[in-house]
Amino acid sequence: MADQIQLPRGTQDVLPADWRLRFRVLDTARRRFEAAGFGRISTPTFEHTELFHRGVGEATDIVGKETYTFTDRGDRSLTLRPEGTAGVSRAFVAGGLHREPLPVKLWYSMAMFRYEKPQAGRLREHEQLGCEVLGSERAAVDAEVIAVQAGIYRDLGLPDLVLHLNSVGSTDARTAYRAALVEYLTPFASELDADSQERLATNPLRILDSKDPRTREIVAGAPLLPAFLTDEDRAHFDRVQTLLAAAGIDAVVDPLLVRGLDYYTRTVWEFTSSALGAQSTVGAGGRYDGLVEQLGGPATPAVGFGTGIERIVLCLEALGQKSRTRPVDAYVGVAPDAGDAAWTRAFRITTQLRERGRAIELDLAGRSAKGQAKQASKLESSLRMLVDDLGARMFLRGDFDGSDLPSDVDAAIGQVDAQLVALATMPRPDAT
RNA sequence: GUGGCUGUAGCUCAGUCGGUAGAGCCCUCGGUUGUGGUCCGAGUGGUCGCGGGUUCGAGUCCCGUCAGCCACCCCA
């Protein structure tokens, strides 16, 4: 055998068994989004590199050191999307959605790419589910987006979730705060950890997030962002909290919460779960009132969130949850010593029952009669057919002889279908 | 990017002091059973992540490398 080709680092195959839980996540999200009036959107997997530089910010880790950037054969610089908001905002303008009744509500589920050191819950290619609402600065939009996100988690039954909430203020407030923070921190510059020293110049707000003990001591005495919020910012944030409370959603206000992307303004939040370990963020979001304009569109306030599907699945698995496959309605097998006529008959029965919407498993493995019976049981089929050259017999669970089906295929199918209807209205007999 | 732990069958793992690889599950077949559960038996399946080194001999010891995991970092 030739050498096996390994998975690229930080990627994964999603096998049928994995898809069962993922489908549940996607179905749940779709239901929640549609109930709230969201339409689905997809954007390209790669964009012009400039989109992320301008939109997300060159000083951010995600764009500064984690992108997959390449030059294509036409000498264009392209980047695999590391997050969803920039692309959706671009599409909002390019697709003329800004001329539709505002706000426009969009949801997506798309792969994201970040060159990071892989760990559980941290992949180089991962899938993010998320939404963006563009065209309204009302606090009700922030609260609605958070409520949809919380609703998805609640429907899925995610354990131990905590919503951390903060307001980073409007652009003016942030500029003023940033200046004050730099002024406070500069005398301590040599005592800060290396990363924070660098950020003093590039992205001082992120220093608030540092876990370095000495940096934290210094940060403890720093001016706090809430003091710099404008009256409008404060009123907006209060309103968001009031609405969340009205929706029965608990939130912990965390004045040190700062998000890693440059475009956030005002409300920012993060859902964490103790089930996840170090990568504890299940999903996070925020308002980004300046982004669309920065990308060349009309001034458009907006809010959104993203949540990692793999991390949700990890939470569900921590609960010991496994999703079951749909039980098959009937199992069709061909008698081991039968010939082509029997296979043709079995194939007709199978395809025609499927036309009626039945889930039918045809024994393509050519199992023994006993093997067929075992397999039918494993698939939770309570009805089984054994087809030979002359006709077919139908067995119910525990049935010894089976009953002969009409040799006419259409009549046989009608009889099987009627039996399935009858079984559906009866309690399923338990295996003994 | 920094530090640490771990890589043996499709899965979960055992493998002693270095002596040419095992179990359970899964899958297929057979037996038992008023026949699809139970139980019993058989079979399929592995260059021990990969590459070097030490040795008469390496799954086992050493070095490198790749990958996963944990913490940092970052974040969903």
Whether nucleic acid strand B comes within 7 Å of the CB of A284, the answer is: yes
Cβ atoms within 10 Å, residue A169: 25
Interstrand relation of A46-48 and A77-80 (parallel, antiparallel or unpaired): antiparallel
Nucleotide closest in space to A382 (CA vs C1'): B36
From the CA of A197, how many Å to the C1' of B13? 48
Angle at A233 between CA A228 and CA A239, to 5 degrees: 135
Question: Within 366-425 of chain A, which residues have Cβ less than 7 Å from strand B?
Answer: 367-368, 370-371, 373-378, 380-384, 395-401
Instruction: Name the closest residue (CA) to the C1' of nucleotide B38.
Output: A432
- In this prediction, residue A1 carries a pLDDT of 47
- Distance of A15 CA from B21 C1′ (whole Å): 30
Are the CB atoms for A174 and A206 separated by under 8 Å? no
**What is the strand order of the sheet A46-48 is part of?**
A46-48, A77-80, A69-71
pLDDT the model gives residue A338: 87
Q: Report, in ranges, which bases of strand B sit under 7 Å from a protein C-beta.
A: 1-2, 27-37, 47, 66-76
pTM summary value: 0.89
What pLDDT shows up at residue A217? 83
Q: Which residue is nearest to nucleotide B76 (CA to C1')?
A: A308
Walking along chain A (432 residues) 10 residues at a time, the average pLDDT comes out as: 76 90 95 98 97 89 91 96 96 96 97 94 96 97 98 93 93 87 87 82 81 81 87 96 97 86 90 85 95 95 97 88 78 90 93 93 91 90 90 84 85 91 67 34
| Helices A16-35, A309-318: inter-axial angle, 10-degree rounding | 110
Q: Could you tell me which residues come within 8 angstroms of residue A219 by beta carbon, excluding any fewer than 6 positions away? A: A207, A208, A210, A256
Q: Judge if the beta carbon of A195 is closer than 7 A to nucleic acid strand B.
A: yes
Cα–Cα dist A317/A225, whole Å: 38
- Residue A114 CB in 7 A reach of strand B: yes
Query: Helices (H), strands (E): how many in chain A?
Result: 14, 16
Which residues in A197-251 belong to E strands, given as ranges?
Answer: none
- In this complex, the answer to whether residue A74 has its CB under 7 A from any atom of chain B, a nucleic strand, is no
Nearest nt (C1') from A307 Cα: B76
What's the CA–C1' distance between A3 and B67, in Å? 15
Whether the beta carbon of A432 falls within 7 A of nucleic chain B: the reply is yes
Residue A432, pLDDT score:
32
Please identify residues in chain A, positions 221-240, with a C-beta within 7 angstroms of any atom of strand B.
none
Q: What is the DSSP string of A328-363?
A: PSEEEEE-TT--HHHHHHHHHHHHHHHHTT--EEE-
Cα–Cα separations (whole angstroms), residue A289 to A178, A240, A302, A306: 18, 16, 5, 17
| Cβ within 8 Å of residue A262, ≥6 positions away | A56, A57, A59, A60, A203
Nearest nt by C1' to A120 Cα: B69
Dist CA A90 CA A94 (whole Å): 6
Contact criterion met (CB below 8 Å) for A366 and A372: no
Distance A374 CA to B45 C1' (A): 22
State, as a whole number of angstroms, the distance between the CA of A41 and the C1' of B13: 45
